[in-house]
């Protein structure tokens, strides 16, 4: 008897679901065969998809002449996102909006501009019924998140790495949902991202720079410690927002969270690794990160800011090192590349 795949086990035996982390059409088709329940895109992934298969995308994009650079970027992203949305819309319909979303990210260069992000969110939400508009978790982004939820727009709150950020997402979602219901509307949903591997990457660099007594094994526990603490807080508070773990660095970021009522966004390279034989199949979400590792990590102030629920106010989020690194990447090797892209 052939053993079921890891993703089949995840779907059949646990509460954990997963989204596909790529804009490429062929990669998405394969992921859907393995049970992907949504699609994560961002400016970088959209650019990579367009560059990899220009003949596929050219007819979907149409005429770009006369567009300003930001309009060009939106038109190109529209093609990638709406294709993904079409592919997962049957799941969206079948589950009555519980699954089947495709993400559309606002311009990362406008992470502090409330009006610009809200305008983009309203536009992007009209692209398809199953769009989750991606907003950065800055003070401005949180204001826009609450307004979107109150208007019935579903959001994915991204550029997020820390417990304070995901708690703020859940609280603002709660406020926006209450406003929506008071107005007789169905609230938008909120998916609260923890970019688990990007946090590890950032803390590794901090630890090396400071010559801290923190091992590589400790660093690999950092994002898991933050995620498991956030998961515990979400459960205790009864938040309606859903944790969405992204930017995996190896199988452990999936296997150590298996069993949780959360979503994991999985890039094709990680999908391939998880489909190999021998991947552990055990619910590990309740297994704590060793206290000794957390104690060593707490010698890094930047880990403390990520781990302690009250260590940062929303006004601090945009200054967090991992936030600046990620916004810069999304802008410079994603959005700016879309603005300049030509077939």
Question: How far is the C-alpha of 78 from the C-alpha of 58, rounded, in Å?
Answer: 12
Query: Mean pLDDT across the stretch 146-165?
Result: 98
Find the largest Cα–Cα distance for the chain: 59
Q: What is the DSSP-derived secondary structure letter of residue 267? A: -
Would you state the pLDDT for residue 2?
A: 53
Closest to 335 in 3D by CA, of 90, 42, 82? 42
For residue 232, count other CB atoms closer than 10 A to its CB. 14
* Domains, in order of start, for the chain: 9-336 (3.20.20.70)
Distances (CA, A) of 37 to 31, 34, 43, 89, 166: 9, 9, 21, 10, 21
Q: Say whether pLDDT at 3 is over 80.
A: no
Tell me what the pLDDT averaged over the chain comes to.
Answer: 97
Are 236 and 254 spatial neighbours (Cβ–Cβ below 8 Å)? no
Q: Per the structure block, which two tokens stand in for 71?
A: 């309009």
Q: How far apart are CA 187 and CA 309, in angstroms?
A: 26
* Predicted confidence band of residue 88 (pLDDT cuts 50, 70, 90): very high
Residue of 79, 44, 83 lying closest to 63 (CA atoms):
79
154: Cβ–Cβ under 8 A, 6 or more apart, which residues?
A: 97, 101, 125, 131, 132, 133, 148, 188, 189, 190, 191
Residue 332 confidence (pLDDT) above 90: yes
Instruction: Name residues whose C-beta falls within 8 Å of residue 48's C-beta, 6 or more positions apart in sequence.
Output: 22, 23, 24
Structure tokens at 25: 């059409």
332: which DSSP letter? Answer: I
* 244-298 confidence digits (pLDDT tens): 999 999 999 999 999 999 999 999 999 999 999 999 999 999 999 999 999 999 9
Q: What are φ and ψ of residue 92, in 5° steps?
A: -60, -45
Both tokens of 149, joined, read 């939820």
Q: What is the pLDDT of residues 288-323, one digit of tens each?
A: 999 999 999 999 999 999 999 999 999 999 999 999
218 pLDDT higher than 80:
yes
pLDDT of the residue at 63: 94
Alpha helices in 256-332, H assignment, sequence order: 268-274, 291-297, 301-307, 314-317, 321-330
Return the CA Rg of the chain. 19
The model carries a pTM of 0.97
Q: What is the pLDDT of residue 104?
A: 98
Picking from 197, 191, 177, 162, the residue whose alpha carbon sits closest to that of residue 267 is 197
CA distances from 289 to 29, 203, 263 (A): 35, 17, 20
Instruction: Summarize pLDDT for 57-78 with one digit per residue, the tens.
Output: 999 999 999 999 999 999 999 9
Q: DSSP for 137-158?
A: -SHHHHHHHHHHHHHT--EEEE
- CB-hemisphere CA count at 13 Å for 320? 33
pLDDT at 4: 87
Start-to-end CA span in the chain (Å): 48
Beta carbons of 143 and 208 less than 8 angstroms apart:
no
Put residue 243 in one of left, alpha, beta given phi > 0 → left and psi -120 to 50 → alpha.
beta
Specify the pLDDT at position 1: 44
Contact 244, 1 (CB under 8 A): no
| Helix, strand and coil in the chain, % to nearest 5 | 55, 10, 30
């Amino acid at each position: 008897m052939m053993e079921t795949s890891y993703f089949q086990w995840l779907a059949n035996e646990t509460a954990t679901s997963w989204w596909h982390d790529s804009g490429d059409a062929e990669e998405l088709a394969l992921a859907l065969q393995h049970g992907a329940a949504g699609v994560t895109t961002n400016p970088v992934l959209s650019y990579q998809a367009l560059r990899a298969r220009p003949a596929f995308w050219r007819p979907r994009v149409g005429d770009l002449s006369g567009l300003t650079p930001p309009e060009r970027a939106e038109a190109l992203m529209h093609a990638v996102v709406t294709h993904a949305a079409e592919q997962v819309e049957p799941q969206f319909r079948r589950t009555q909006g519980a699954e089947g979303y495709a993400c559309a990210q606002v311009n990362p260069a406008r992470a502090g501009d409330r009006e610009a992000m809200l305008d983009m969110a309203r536009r992007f939400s009209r692209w398809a019924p199953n769009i989750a508009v991606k907003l950065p978790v800055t003070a401005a982004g949180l204001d826009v998140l609450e307004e979107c939820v109150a208007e019935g727009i579903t959001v994915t709150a991204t550029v997020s790495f820390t417990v304070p950020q995901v708690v703020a997402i859940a609280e603002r979602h709660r406020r926006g949902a209450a406003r929506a219901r008071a107005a007789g509307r169905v609230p938008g949903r909120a998916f609260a991202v923890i970019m688990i591997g990007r946090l590890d990457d950032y803390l590794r660099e901090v630890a090396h720079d400071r010559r801290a007594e923190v091992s590589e094994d400790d660093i690999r526990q950092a994002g898991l410690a933050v995620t498991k603490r956030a998961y515990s807080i979400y459960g205790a508070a009864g938040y309606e927002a859903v944790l969405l773990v992204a930017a995996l660095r190896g199988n452990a970021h999936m296997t150590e969270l298996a069993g949780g009522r959360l979503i994991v966004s999985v890039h094709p390279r990680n999908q391939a690794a998880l489909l190999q034989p021998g991947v552990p199949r055990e619910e590990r979400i309740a297994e704590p990160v060793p206290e000794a590792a957390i104690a060593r990590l707490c010698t890094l102030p930047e880990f403390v800011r990520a781990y302690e629920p009250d260590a940062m106010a929303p006004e601090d989020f945009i200054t967090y090192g991992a936030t600046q690194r990620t916004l810069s990447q999304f802008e410079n090797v994603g959005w700016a590349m879309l603005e300049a892209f030509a077939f």
